[in-house]
Amino acid sequence: DAKTTQPPSMDCAEGRAANLPCNHSTISGNEYVYWYRQIHSQGPQYIIHGLKNNETNEMASLIITEDRKSSTLILPHATLRDTAVYYCIVRANSGGSNYKLTFGKGTLLTVNP
Amino acid sequence: DSGVTQTPKHLITATGQRVTLRCSPRSGDLSVYWYQQSLDQGLQFLIQYYNGEERAKGNILERFSAQQFPDLHSELNLSSLELGDSALYFCASSSAGGGGNEQFFGPGTRLTVL
């Protein structure tokens, strides 16, 4: 699986958009970008994933650059409950690969009142 | 609530002992994954089962073993416990054996080895 690079921490004001970047310059053509988050010691929570097109769901939007070497997770209106560690994970979805999730250190997003 | 349940929530035991952690996947999910989260190693994949069969292995110690039963629940057995085995153990489930489906995580079991 391709390695990802995320800033260790970020701050965001409540009600503002939180933009979390992720670099994955060695991503392969069949690898997807996944985002999970973990709120203090709880089980990780799936947020969103995408291959090359931008994706949006009820939780967030995922913007993937055209060369697919980086992506941004956008929480449009951050709340205090969005304070968590956010993990960007790159993983293949086919081809007989091991479909484990490889977690890095992630980004600790702190939403301030 | 992810729909994945894990028991017990907390477990305190002594070195050298053996414990069993239990996971019930979401209804209909065939795949179960086990992960360990310790302070120094972060979240690490241990093992995956799909419909009763071992599918993939990660950094799982020989002292650890797992199985998935016909009703699809899974158990992770940890034996000859050491202080360093203290960690959060998460189970996740997905509907497929391979990719294309997100994994849903349970609330975890916190193991403390004294």
pLDDT above 90 (res A66): yes
- Dig out the tokens for A103 from the structure: 């977690």
Report yes or no: A42 at the B interface, CB cutoff 8 Å: yes
Cα gap A74→A86, rounded to integer Å: 11
Average pLDDT over residues A82-89: 97
On the question of pLDDT at A96 being above 80, the answer is no
pLDDT reported for residue B49: 92
Q: What is the pLDDT of residue B113?
A: 97
| Residues in chain A within 8 Å Cβ distance of B100 | 93-94
Provide, as residue numbers in chain B, all residues whose Cβ is less than 8 Å from the Cβ of A42.
107-108
Low-confidence ranges of chain B (pLDDT < 50): none
Closest CB from A34, A87, A100 relative to B45? A100
The pLDDT, as a whole number, for residue B98 is 57
CA distances from A64 to A49, B7, B8 (A): 10, 38, 40
Give tens-digit pLDDT for B76-92: 999 999 999 999 999 99
Residues 48-87 on A with a CB inside 8 Å of B are 49, 87
Burial label for A55, CB within 10 Å (0-12, 13-18, 19+), is middle
At A30 the pLDDT is 85
How far is residue A71's CA from residue A88's CA, in Å, rounded to a whole number? 9
* Residue A76 predicted with pLDDT over 80: yes
Q: Where is pLDDT greater, at A26 or A2?
A: A26
User: Distance between CA B62 and CA B59 in Å, rounded?
Assistant: 10
Predicted confidence band at A87 (pLDDT cuts at 50, 70, 90)?
very high
Please give the residue that has the higher pLDDT: either A84 or B28. Answer: A84
3-class DSSP state for residue B5?
strand
Distance (Å) from the alpha carbon of B108 to chain A's nearest alpha carbon: 6
Q: Please give the residue that has the higher pLDDT: either A91 or A70.
A: A70
- Look at residue A100 in the predicted model and tell me its pLDDT: 82
User: Quick one: average pLDDT of A58-63?
Assistant: 96
At B63 the pLDDT is 97
List CB contacts (< 8 A) between A44 and chain B. Answer: 43, 90, 92, 105
Distance CA B110, CA A48 (A): 27
For the stretch A6-59, pLDDT in tens is 999 999 999 999 999 999 999 988 889 999 999 988 999 999 999 998 999 999
Partners of A18 in the beta sheet? Answer: A75
Decide if A30 touches B, using CB distance below 8 A: no
Cβ within 8 Å of residue A97, ≥6 positions away: A1, A91, B98, B99
Residues of A in contact with B58 (CB under 8 A): 98, 100
